[in-house]
Structure 1
Amino acid sequence: MRSETASLIELTIQGLNKNPHAVLGMHSLDGAVVVRVFNPHSQKVTVRDVHSGRCYPMEKTDERGFFEAVIEAPDLFAYQLVHTTTDGASYTVYDPYAFLPTVSDYDTYLFNQGNHHRIYEKLGCHLREVNGVKGASFAVWAPSAQRVSVVGSFNQWDGRIHQMRMLGSSGVWELFIPGLAPGDLYKYEIKTPSGELYIKADPFAFYAEKPPQTASRVYDMDDYQWHDEEWLAKRAKEPVYDKPVNIYEVHLGSWQQEPDPDPDSETGFRPLSYRQLAERLIPYAKKMGYTHLELLPVMEHPYDGSWGYQVTGYYAVTSRYGTPADFKYFVDKCHENGLGVILDWVPAHFPKDGHGLARFDGTALYEHEDKRKGEHLEWGTHVFNYGRHEVRNFLVANALFWFDKYHVDGLRVDAVASMLYLDYCRKPGEWIPNEYGGRENLEAVEFLRQLNTTVYRYYPNVMMIAEESTAWPKVTAPVHEGGLGFSHKWNMGWMNDFLRYVSMDSVYRKYHQNLITFSLMYAWSENFILVLSHDEVVHGKKSLLDKMPGDYWQKFAGLRGALGYFMGHPGKKLLFMGGEFGQFIEWKYKESLDWHLLGYPMHEKLHDYVADLNHFYLNEPALYQIDSHYDGFEWIDCSDTEHSIVSFIRKGKDWRDMLVFVCNFTPAAHDNYRIGAPLDTVYTEVFNSDLEQYGGSHVVNDRPMKAEPVPWHGKSWSIVLKIPPLATIVLRPDTSKFRNPSVEQ
């Protein structure tokens, strides 16, 4: 035996050979072939010629489990290995070291450049057939590792048996293992530069064990037949900017629950499965008048208390509620019922759990080494290293993955502000300025631009939504215009001002009316979504209903009126679950919403009101066609601070689609309140949050109101109307007699 071969064999036995295929498997040897096997669990190994059936016993050349057979054969041939274990059992397998790489040089080149948009098709675990042999290929990026092995239920979790090879200098390790099947458990055993052994879940795994277990599962992603071709074709043709977008934000684990038969259950209840949610949540959202469901992260995460925002399996839908096929069914059924699906997505940070991405190969691979860039001190998590090509590739391809494989309609990108600023939640000395001395994270900016450019290259009409809480300019402007390239941005400024205003006692609101009017100073600077989100009904902030001041009746009236204003304000809409029927207590992620409250009249009436308000929104082009331009909005009066009343006009693309909103934020009713009228015509009340059927006092304008030639609020005409307490009313002008909008101004 040549000395270099002996040296490689010794390295393989020690688990330090970065190319075990060079010695293991079948190789030509001076007119014959040699087969080498390393398996410490085998007492005896035989080579079996697949075509002739002839068997060749192998010699155990090293008691640590190394076997070799020299066979007189002119050419390499297909073979199997018959193992006899130390306890006498026998099994037959194809040799994993008999196969060429399943990842090409071009794949690794693109990945190392950060431009392999479908790298998830190459890295990770993939069921495939190679040379007529069925099995699973594995590939993982761990450039600093001394060794990487696939360990799992199929090899006693022993890292000596399935050692992987590194492909050149790419940092990618690869191995094809014959005979594996869906459901098999696996991880990667990684020997770090310091010699430690890490056991890591697959960053590209499609499925995982149910937490608290953390192993990855072999899974066939082609296991579902979709039925949403019509939906996807329509989506490809129709941008959402001038369409109604009314989002119901949902945490799947706590929307509804059912009794848990497990006697050791902590609460006695368990979440619904993806298929149960398809049966209950989808018809509910459709009936309520929502256009989209936005799901708190469904990517695999170890800690329930993170609500999904500390992700360890970016490519794995959480197994808490079922399989990937089950979640595809859920999305498919959403599309069948006219509902879009938006997923919360977390590229800003990841947790430090030992089986996850943290120090993956023993080094700061996905994160920065320097804690001043690589850690969120407040959250106890790591920050992605956006300057590393492969890390950007991991994230960009992951975004595409959810569109490719799960047909989702949008991603809401979490914590964008934390990505944009190097000093986010950091004190002086805890952060490193950029190359120009500033606090902007230039690498993160380029990542976000690459992300949005790539997504829109393949899916031009999906939604890419930024949760961004600062005044960073051009978040929703195209990249070629210097923007970040998102389609929409959460309007956090409006949310904070609005909730502060409606939470204060009505007697003080006259001193703070700017809180509900200031948002119109910047409403056209971005494509905004108005949000009343999950973050605002936890951690002592109170539920939406309980934020409202006053007695029991006033709380409900105040919430109805506030939601009416919310629906009239320019911008797409989002409401977190529970707000629609007046959840009284804060949201608890472990428990179901309090659906029993619908047995109480005021909660039931609020529920009916929100459904009617949602459908009113869907049916009125004035409320959604021009959300991001001043042409869609006009103040009538925003200065009546004494009465805390505002009035405004919403307009559609057709000028005749016009609605007048009047919002009263005090418990005082008004019998003869005059507002300026945009047209000399008749005005009819078409919506009123104070109707008796909604639990109100039924102060209504039950007769059409004729405009009078009395100048008011800068208009030539005006109308006198009744204004109910703590309410929003909507009027529709009769435009039938006008041919163009210049008839009266």
Structure 2
Amino acid sequence: MGELDQYLFGQGTHYEIYKKMGAHFVKDGKKSGVYFTVWAPHARSVSVIGEFNGWSEDANVMKRQEPLGIYTAFVPEAQLGQLYKYCIETQTGDKLYKADPFANSAELRPGTASRIADISHLKWSDSVWMKHRAEWDFHSSPISIYEAHIGSWMRHPGREDEGFYSYREFAHAATDYIKKMGYTHIELMGISEYPFDGSWGYQVTGYYAPTSRYGTPEDFAYMINYFHKNKIGVILDWVPAHFPRDAHGLADFDGTATFEYADPKKGEHPDWGTKIFDYGKAEVKNFLIANALFWIEHYHIDGLRVDAVASMLYLDYGKEDGQWIANKYGSNENLEAIEFFKHLNSVTTGRNPGALMIAEESTAWPKVTGKPEDDGLGFSLKWNMGWMHDFTEYMKLDPYFRKGDHYGMTFALTYAYSENYILVLSHDEVVHLKCSMLNKMPGLGFEKFANLKVGYAFMMGHPGKKLLFMGQDFGQLREWSEARELDWYLLAEPEHQALQNFYRDLLHLYTHNKAMYEQDTCMEGFEWVNADDSSRSIYSFIRHSKGAKKNLLFVCNFTPIERPEYRVGVPRGKQYRLVLNSDELQYGGSGKARPAVYKAKKQECDGRPYSFGYDLPPYGVAVFEF
């Protein structure tokens, strides 16, 4: 660990610190071995213990480097794959046995040791993808994300272990599914190493290690490479908001608050029982920013979905009066977290054009996707939690009562262009007694499926990128659980297969029509035809491509009532070609024969000079191209 390395780490700007910290194979003179480096500024002493020295606390005592309190040791006997920890003697004489914060691999739970790995020679053959990514403009491109949890997507039946798919097996199976369906990206939950399956990966102990549940770092790299070769982007969930109290993790790392704020009013989440990173400490900021770069640059990840952003921005998040400390201006914004985000997003996207930084942020905080130089946070995209709430509340209503909440579905258009949004129906919406998407729907049998189809069509037509959690595209009945695979057997049932067919064709309609995505962030891309038909709960709107070369007209009926010759106003006396009809047999509809083309007449409707009539079925969706 050279003087320049220490200086940059102390400034918070050593963006490749992971190449220095942790365990790395090196040659020291004629000897080769492993060089261990750990930051423990308030430790009395540190030694590295492991399989290479019989877990002896005296065999490999580490040297302290000032001024930062970094400890180093060269161990010629250490071998690839061996387990190790740091034995940290605190100022009070206690001994802590900690996993390596910078370890590149970890022992499978319930074990808690780090594992010596060598990730300096990973094999990549995705140069075409990486070149494309650097030139890619996400604003005007389709993004439809398949959110997945590897451990519960699919499992091997009858095995004595948990039957998890390995990273390599998942790569092949998920790629086949994603390509068939038409998603552009996969977002993976819970990749950084974590001890408790029930946390889904949101309570991390190994920020620099892909979880060993599904294989080795080489297996993980193979998966990313395979997705890229099949033109599928990869997004990881990333958790810089908090970390668990597990004894082997980051909490009180050297016997003091090292990675977290020292004052529990700033450094602890009462609701979650976790610790909050100290965003004012240069070394902690460096740990996190370098970690984001590690995934994007070393593992070729295409984007990070940053979890629980609101909990970082607000000092009083999840806290009662007396449980938090105001900032120097007497308000509740975490000024250090704000600066952290500006630094993080400037560096990650500045160094990696085309990489996405996505905020899961649930409040009305301004300029989340604004530029840092304009006092924005610098994210590429933001989850639209407001739209998700309004959408699910409307969809749960009995159709008779939807007319009373008609404008709940149109409200999101009043702020749709204030940020770069992703419309999300994520794992959070199908757990904790919230029901699966299908079972949120009112009615029985056919009605549930028909409701969900019209809801999905409305979502796909609405401005914003798209995200759907696994299982919801074929109508998973049970809530999601990390402890079992999805109920794939449901696809043997015609109605589940029909729903999957419909969502598949919605995805293909989305990715193959520029009108659906290239003007997502400007008002020119969307136009209401009739947003006020509350008595019949019907919405009609147009998605415009640039230059109006090819546009799409959506008509969505949210009641079980058929509307013969439903008249819709259109801008020109042209022909309108039916390109998606939810009443087809393959979608579970009646299969009624319909004209392929409709000629608009000079007849005023919806405040427009031209219109045409269409037999709109119960819960019907019709999309026309013109």
> Does TM, scored on the shorter chain, surpass 0.5?
yes
- What SS class does the counterpart of residue 329 from structure 2 fall into? coil
Tell me the distance in 2 between the aligned counterparts of 1:476 and 1:699.
46
Provide the residue aligned with 2:565 in structure 1: 672
Tell me the distance in 2 between the aligned counterparts of 1:260 and 1:551.
34
- What SS class does the counterpart of residue 489 from structure 2 fall into? helix
Asked if 1:124 is matched to 2:1, the reply is: no
Provide the residue aligned with 1:145 in structure 2: 43
- Give the drift of 1:413: 0.2
- What SS class does the counterpart of residue 220 from structure 1 fall into? coil
Q: 2:76 aligns with which of 161, 166, 178?
A: 178
Which moves more between the two structures, 605-614 or 249-258? 605-614
- What SS class does the counterpart of residue 454 from structure 2 fall into? helix
Asked if 1:242 is matched to 2:135, the reply is: no
> Which amino acid is 2:533 matched to?
D
- Give the drift of 1:504: 1.0
- What SS class does the counterpart of residue 684 from structure 1 fall into? strand
Tell me the distance in 2 between the aligned counterparts of 1:675 and 1:652.
20
Matches within 5 A, 1:4-153: 103-153=1-51
Asked if 1:304 is matched to 2:197, the reply is: yes
1:669-714 CA-to-partner distances (Å, cap 9, x unmatched) read 1112112101111112110122121102345642422212122222
Provide the residue aligned with 1:330 in structure 2: 223
| Percent identity of equivalent pairs | 51
Matches within 5 A, 1:333-412: 333-412=226-305
- 8 Å CA contact 1:688–1:700 kept in 2: the answer is no
- What SS class does the counterpart of residue 357 from structure 2 fall into? strand
- Give the drift of 1:222: 2.2
> Which amino acid is 1:479 matched to?
P
Provide the residue aligned with 2:367 in structure 1: 474
Q: TM-score if structure 2 supplies the norm length?
A: 0.99
Tell me the distance in 1 between the aligned counterparts of 2:206 and 2:384.
29
> Which amino acid is 1:661 matched to?
F
Matches within 5 A, 1:195-594: 195-262=93-160, 269-594=162-487
- 8 Å CA contact 2:349–2:356 kept in 1: the answer is no
- 8 Å CA contact 1:124–1:139 kept in 2: the answer is yes
- Give the drift of 1:161: 1.4
- Give the drift of 1:371: 1.3
- What SS class does the counterpart of residue 646 from structure 1 fall into? strand
Which protein has greater RCO, CA pairs closer than 8 Å, 6+ apart?
A: 2
Provide the residue aligned with 2:59 in structure 1: 161
1:595-634 CA-to-partner distances (Å, cap 9, x unmatched) read 0001111111111111111111111110011111101000
- 8 Å CA contact 2:224–2:234 kept in 1: the answer is yes
1:89-124 CA-to-partner distances (Å, cap 9, x unmatched) read xxxxxxxxxxxxxx1011011101111001001111
Tell me the distance in 1 between the aligned counterparts of 2:25 and 2:138.
37
- 8 Å CA contact 1:701–1:721 kept in 2: the answer is no
Tell me the distance in 1 between the aligned counterparts of 2:158 and 2:95.
38
Gap regions ≥5 residues in structure 2:
none
Q: TM-score if structure 1 supplies the norm length?
A: 0.83
1:182-208 CA-to-partner distances (Å, cap 9, x unmatched) read 101110000011110000000000000
Which moves more between the two structures, 284-293 or 693-702? 693-702
RMSD of aligned residue pairs (Cα, Å): 1.0
1:398-442 CA-to-partner distances (Å, cap 9, x unmatched) read 000001221010000000000000111111111100000010010
* Structure with greater strand percent: 1
Tell me the distance in 2 between the aligned counterparts of 1:600 and 1:482.
52
Tell me the distance in 1 between the aligned counterparts of 2:521 and 2:122.
39
Tell me the distance in 2 between the aligned counterparts of 1:283 and 1:337.
9
- 8 Å CA contact 2:101–2:206 kept in 1: the answer is yes
Gap regions ≥5 residues in structure 1:
1-102, 734-745
Provide the residue aligned with 2:502 in structure 1: 609
> Which amino acid is 1:622 matched to?
A
> Which amino acid is 2:29 matched to?
N
1:140-194 CA-to-partner distances (Å, cap 9, x unmatched) read 1100000011000111212111111111221111111113221011100000111
- What SS class does the counterpart of residue 643 from structure 1 fall into? coil
> Which amino acid is 1:647 matched to?
S
- Give the drift of 1:654: 3.0
Tell me the distance in 1 between the aligned counterparts of 2:583 and 2:377.
42
1:32-76 CA-to-partner distances (Å, cap 9, x unmatched) read xxxxxxxxxxxxxxxxxxxxxxxxxxxxxxxxxxxxxxxxxxxxx
- 8 Å CA contact 1:699–1:724 kept in 2: the answer is no
> Which amino acid is 2:607 matched to?
G
Q: 2:610 aligns with which of 685, 692, 717?
A: 717
> Which amino acid is 1:108 matched to?
Q
Matches within 5 A, 1:637-652: 637-652=530-545
Tell me the distance in 1 between the aligned counterparts of 2:82 and 2:39.
21
- What SS class does the counterpart of residue 279 from structure 2 fall into? coil
- 8 Å CA contact 1:562–1:727 kept in 2: the answer is no
- 8 Å CA contact 1:476–1:526 kept in 2: the answer is yes
Tell me the distance in 2 between the aligned counterparts of 1:664 and 1:353.
51
1:560-608 CA-to-partner distances (Å, cap 9, x unmatched) read 1111111100000000000011100100111000000011111111111
- 8 Å CA contact 1:678–1:717 kept in 2: the answer is yes
- Give the drift of 1:132: 2.6
- What SS class does the counterpart of residue 514 from structure 1 fall into? helix
Tell me the distance in 2 between the aligned counterparts of 1:727 and 1:153.
65
1:452-475 CA-to-partner distances (Å, cap 9, x unmatched) read 011012102111000000000000
- 8 Å CA contact 2:52–2:79 kept in 1: the answer is no
- 8 Å CA contact 1:691–1:699 kept in 2: the answer is yes
1:493-542 CA-to-partner distances (Å, cap 9, x unmatched) read 00010011001111110000111100000000000000010000001000
> Which amino acid is 1:408 matched to?
I
Tell me the distance in 2 between the aligned counterparts of 1:222 and 1:105.
23
> Which amino acid is 2:28 matched to?
V
Asked if 1:681 is matched to 2:574, the reply is: yes
- 8 Å CA contact 2:47–2:57 kept in 1: the answer is yes
Tell me the distance in 2 between the aligned counterparts of 1:688 and 1:222.
52
Tell me the distance in 2 between the aligned counterparts of 1:705 and 1:612.
21
- What SS class does the counterpart of residue 232 from structure 1 fall into? helix
- Give the drift of 1:259: 2.3
1:244-268 CA-to-partner distances (Å, cap 9, x unmatched) read 1010000010000012532xx5xxx
> Which amino acid is 1:247 matched to?
I
- What SS class does the counterpart of residue 555 from structure 2 fall into? strand
Tell me the distance in 2 between the aligned counterparts of 1:451 and 1:700.
55
Tell me the distance in 2 between the aligned counterparts of 1:672 and 1:293.
41
> Which amino acid is 2:423 matched to?
L
Tell me the distance in 1 between the aligned counterparts of 2:2 and 2:582.
63
